[in-house]
Amino acid sequence: MAQLLFKDVNKVYPNGYHAVHDFNMEIGDGEFICLVGDSGCGKSTTLRMIAGLEDITAGEFYIDGKLANNMSSRDRGIAMVFQSYALYPHLTVYENLAFGLTLEGIDADVIEEKVQATAKILGLTEYLERFPRQLSGGQCQRVAVGRALIRKVNIFLMDEPLSNLDAKQRVTMRSEIKQIHRSVGATTIYVTHDQTEAMTMSDRIVVMKSGGYVQQIGTPHELYFYPKNLFVAGFIGEPPMNFIRGKVQDGKMTSYGLSLDLKPVVKDLSAIEGREVVFAFRPESVKVGKQKGAYSITSNVELTELLGDTTNVYATVGDGENSVNVILKVSPHDTPETGSSFTFSVPNVSAYVFDAETENVIENDIVRR
Ligand code: ADP
């Protein structure tokens, strides 16, 4: 296991592109961390700096208290798993697993023991004599994880390891990787663009935005319930959070025919008087009809999608040109008719207000669960 510390770490590529800005973080022994964000936001670059595959342009990076900026990859005690599996096609599963150990000159008996033990953890025992082309995508990915696992390293780095798998295999591998992490205990940094993967696997998540800017670092619970800004609020959660923009007048946000009293969700109303704000709520937080202690909003139903356990309602608030789209999750028993008028409530504890200009959340005292 290992502790990692980043102090103002920056990456500027030789062509001048500044891919990571002031990355600051302390990662504890055995933590499972996901770096999440849209394509090109600097996740892989950060991972590659940890691996020693990219130079750190400025700042300091420590492994177990030792400055590691210039430490060779070999000395970092890492193993990396890539999206492409990177298996040797002409070698069997056994030989793929054994490859690194053979190179290190380890005794055949010891290798045999380690390969068998690793294969057992990953459910690959009966496939050891097969070649990669005779395996499914999920099995190939397991071999790739096995090759990293067999080396008994302190730090596991994974770059989009599940993105070549189908939806069902992804769900299975997600829990397998978590189980492996639990039994092996290596500090793990996992890169993904998929917020569901990040939410389900991580101890903590780092949300990054294009340009290589860290937006927020927190537990899945913190990011879901206490997003610091509009970017994080919109990135975490599926379907995404609803945003309704408007101007504050006399403590109320008015737009799209709404007049929402912001007093229950804003600590200091005078600070936002006259400003543009964004009223926000998650699709799954709404209740059907008018409720007490909640914002009641009437919408027009454009489309409904029955998913089985819930229905997604795509609706508009306001009239014609002056309207905004919202998505609401309701019980299938409450599915409204397309074209009908639908009144729903957003409980005060589920409502957020963001400053439209700074995009930061506006302070409140709400305890969210
Ligand atoms: P992500 O993993 O989040 O998709 P990357 O870390 O791969 O993003 O890339 C971040 C940004 O850096 C992208 O805009 C990418 O085009 C750029 N980039 C990556 N590698 C290089 C390179 N060798 N030279 C210049 N720019 C690069």
pLDDT tens readout for residues 172-215? 888 888 988 888 889 999 999 999 999 999 999 999 999 999 99
Per-residue pLDDT band for 234 (boundaries 50, 70, 90) equals very high
Q: How far is Cα 104 from Cα 126, in angstroms, rounded to an integer? A: 26
**Does ligand 1 have an atom closer than 6 angstroms to the CB of 41?**
yes
Q: At 303, is the pLDDT very low, low, confident or very high (cuts 50, 70, 90)?
A: very high
pLDDT bucket at 111, cuts 50 / 70 / 90: very high
Any atom of ligand 1 within 6 Å of the Cβ of 40:
yes
**Beta strands, E only, 13-116:** 18-27, 32-36, 58-63, 66-67, 78-81
Instruction: Give the residue-averaged pLDDT of 296-315.
Output: 97
CA atoms within 13 A on the CB side of 177: 33
Q: Of all helices (H) and strands (E), which one includes residue 155?
A: strand 155-159
Tokens 């990040």 belong to 198
Is the beta carbon of 198 within 6 A of some atom in ligand 1? no
Instruction: Tell me the mean pLDDT in the region 15-40.
Output: 96
| The most confident of 145-159, 173-187, 234-248, by mean pLDDT | 234-248
Which atom of ligand 1 is closest in space to residue 41's alpha carbon? 3
Average pLDDT score over residue span 153-170: 86
Measured at the CA of 29, the angle between CA 26 and CA 30, to 5 degrees, comes to: 115
- 342 versus 364: which is more confidently predicted? 342
Contact 52, 76 (CB under 8 A): yes
Contacts by residues 94-100 (CB-CB < 8 Å, ≥ 24 positions apart) = 94/119, 94/128, 94/129, 96/132, 96/143, 96/146, 96/147, 97/124, 97/128, 97/143, 97/146, 97/147, 97/150, 98/150, 99/147, 100/147, 100/150, 100/151
Whose C-alpha lies nearest to ligand 1, atom 19? 45
Q: Report, as an integer, the average pLDDT of 34-62.
A: 96
Q: Is the pLDDT of residue 263 over 80?
A: yes
Q: 39 pLDDT exceeds 80?
A: yes
- The bridge status of strand 341-347 relative to strand 294-306 is antiparallel
> From CA 267, how far away is CA 361, in angstroms rounded?
11
Q: Cis ω on the peptide bond leading into residue 283 (within 30° of 0)?
A: no
pTM, two decimal places: 0.92
Dihedral angle at the C-alpha atoms of 328, 261, 256, 215, nearest 10 degrees? -60
Q: What does the pLDDT read at residue 121? A: 82
Q: Is 44 in the pocket of ligand 1 (CB under 6 A)?
A: yes
Instruction: Describe the crossing of helices 108-122 and 93-103 by its angle, rounded to 10 degrees.
Output: 130
53 CA from centroid of ligand 1 (Å): 13
Question: Cβ contacts of residue 206 below 8 Å, gap of 6+?
Answer: 25, 33, 34, 35, 36, 214, 216, 217
Mean pLDDT of the 272-280 span: 97
What pLDDT, on a 0 to 100 scale, did the predictor assign at position 98? Answer: 93
pLDDT beyond 80 at 257: yes
Confidence of residue 139 (pLDDT cuts 50, 70, 90): confident
Q: What is the 3-state secondary structure (H, E, C) of 92-137?
A: CHHHHHHHHHHHCCCCHHHHHHHHHHHHHHHCCHHHCCCCHHHCCH
Q: Is the CB of 192 under 6 A from ligand 1?
A: no
Q: How far is CA 118 from CA 1, 31, 128, 201, 205, in A?
A: 18, 21, 11, 21, 28
**Lowest mean pLDDT, pick from 12-21, 129-138, 331-340:** 129-138
Average pLDDT, the chain: 93
Residue % of the chain over a pLDDT of 90: 77
Indicate which atom in ligand 1 lies nearest the CA of residue 191.
2
Query: What pLDDT score does 172 carry?
Result: 84
- Determine if ligand 1 sits within 6 Å of the CB of residue 16: no
What is the number of other CB atoms lying within 10 angstroms of the CB of residue 136? 12
What H or E segment, with its residue span, contains residue 329? strand 322-330
> Which atom of ligand 1 lies nearest, measured to the CA of 42?
6
pLDDT of residue 1: 63
The region of weakest confidence among 14-18, 128-132, 246-250, 364-368 is: 364-368
Does any ligand 1 atom lie closer than 6 A to the CB of residue 17? yes
pLDDT at 292 over 90: yes
Instruction: Point out the least confidently predicted range of 11-20, 97-106, 231-240, 315-324.
Output: 97-106
Residues 6 or more apart whose CB falls under 8 angstroms from that of 176 comprise 122, 142
- The pLDDT assigned to 325 comes to 97
Residue type, 311: T
Spacing of C-alpha 310 from chain mean position: 23
- Across 145-157, average pLDDT: 87
Residue 294 parent element (H or E): strand 294-306
Say what the pLDDT of residue 120 is: 87
- Is there an atom of ligand 1 within 6 Å of 255 CB? no
- The predicted model gives 156-161 an average pLDDT of 91
pLDDT at 332: 96
